Structure 1
Amino acid sequence: MDEQQQDQEREWANNPRLDAWISEQRAAFNAHFPLEADDWDFSIESLDRLEAFIRRRFSSCEEIKAERDSGPVGAATWYLGEVHVRTAGAQWQYGTEPDLAAPEYDQPYVTIPYERIDEYPPADDDPAQDGRPLTVPGDELCALFLRGPDHHLRDTLTRYHGAPDTDG
């Protein structure tokens, strides 16, 4: 990764747009998912409760996309990403400006910080590719319906080396 890309990554990990989005979704989460007996502790197990809510509330990826930036979908997106941040050491990233040319791709995502790039070498078949896992939490909510009932939110953590056991 060249220096210009590193600078962009630093900007995308620390900017007012990302900070505002995180703050907004954290508040929405507290409104849509009230704390009950410490259920929302950012553990892998709590993703099962989040998944159950999403599967009860929505029946398709299209429904999730229609509410991507609002209410429970935005809040659930934030929570899933925060579990990655807190359990796998990922960091949030989000463009400093909206991508008007491709708004469907203009979403916050989580990835391993650049400082840990050596822990995730590129695949042998694509040595130019950055090997760090990248997860778009909003897309993972859709994937629950696209990949079927055997796909679970907890599975998204298996992308990380040394990921906590997600079988439990």
Structure 2
Amino acid sequence: MSDEDWDSEDERDITERIDKAHAENPRLTAWLAEQEGRFDDWGRRHGGGWDFGERSLDRVEALVREHVTSVDDLFTREHTPMIQVACWYVGEVHNRTRGTQWRMAPRPAGSHPWSKRPYVTVPLARLHEYRDPEGIDYDARPRHHPLSSFLTLLREGPTAGRGSLRSELDDYA
């Protein structure tokens, strides 16, 4: 997109176009279907009883801490069912308890590694509920990349205690 194109559209139009492209694309559809298809087996392997409730995020947190030893280990194992389904599960808890929705860039930018990964955010219809306190960003909706949440867990270390994943739900208040 050229600078002239940006000038001819207002921020709302640009935000709507990007949001729609991130919500409806084959990359996201395929990723969601793959993780949902793996979930039953993943759930059985990791104790069963996964109910998509807020408190179940403590179990995911414990699972990540148990199976992933470092940030490097997380990136090495990022594309395994263990990590991908855990990411999907965390996002689904956000969706089911806070009304967020999945998004993923249809064509990731090589210069932005997080554009390759799925995330959850509040629907565009609720944009007005979130204001940037500095008034810089038009779109101040909270956005969570589950893999980034796992990075935070590993950087905090085990002394941070449980509840880190669950505390992210407060961002939607």
Paired positions, count: 159
Alignment TM-score, normalising by the size of structure 2: 0.83
Mapping for residues 118-137 of structure 1, pairs under 5 Å: 118-123=128-133, 126-129=134-137, 130-137=139-146
Alignment TM-score, normalising by the size of structure 1: 0.86
Mapping for residues 11-160 of structure 1, pairs under 5 Å: 11-34=21-44, 39-123=49-133, 126-129=134-137, 130-149=139-158, 150=160, 152-160=164-172
1:36 deviation in Å?
Answer: 8.4
Query: Deviations for 1:116-137, whole angstroms, at most 9, x for unmatched residues?
Result: 01111111xx202132111111
Q: Any stretches of 5+ residues in structure 1 without a counterpart?
A: 162-168
Identity value in percent? 34
Distance 1:135 1:10 in 2: 17
Distance 1:56 1:36 in 2: 11
Aligned to 2:102, what secondary structure does the other structure show? strand
Query: Deviations for 1:121-164, whole angstroms, at most 9, x for unmatched residues?
Result: 111xx202132111111110111111233262111111111xxx
